[in-house]
Structure 1
């Protein structure tokens, strides 16, 4: 029962925050907040990827693949190309037995 109550509470908080954000659609944010929010996806992505790269047994191989992915995304501004390039680099290094 405790798990069910926790899940319902998490759902309620998530639903309320998203509903509030969507219902404020007519509100214009100041330029500072718009500039600040541009960096949220990059920050979340880094927070998810960096610990996995740094704490893995094959960390050097993953670090090279992450660097290639980052460079591809930076130069092309295309997330899909960066992801495919990073995965391709990782599997190529693994196949060659490097890293």
Structure 2
């Protein structure tokens, strides 16, 4: 399949779902659903990242870098700092030949 058509389809689905969500702006969700929806982004992120970390040939190096990233984000509350720290940890371990 053409990559451009794939990206166009992904764009259309994303736009449609966001437009639908915005058009229902007057609907108030119960507190249970508001609390539930707070965990969706981290769940999706974990579902995307964890299989890649666990199945890679350098899984130990990736796991240590992911842990470093998570700790930095948790302590500083800054996503960019955590991502940069995770990358730096990964490349340092790779340079040292660990993992």
Q: What TM-score, normalized to structure 2?
A: 0.81
Alignment: residue pair count: 96
* C-alpha distance 12-53 of structure 1, shift in aligned 2 (>3 A): closer
Q: Report what 1:71 is aligned to.
A: 71
How much has 1:16 moved relative to structure 2? 3.8
Q: Report what 1:33 is aligned to.
A: 33
Q: What TM-score, normalized to structure 1?
A: 0.81
**Which string of whole-angstrom CA distances, capped at 9 and with x for unpartnered residues, describes residues 80-99 of structure 1?**
11111110100000011111
Partner-residue secondary structure (3-state), 1:60: helix
How much has 1:18 moved relative to structure 2? 2.6
Q: CA RMSD in A?
A: 2.3
Larger Rg: 1
The answer to whether structure 1 residue 84 and structure 2 residue 80 are counterparts is no
How much has 1:19 moved relative to structure 2? 2.1
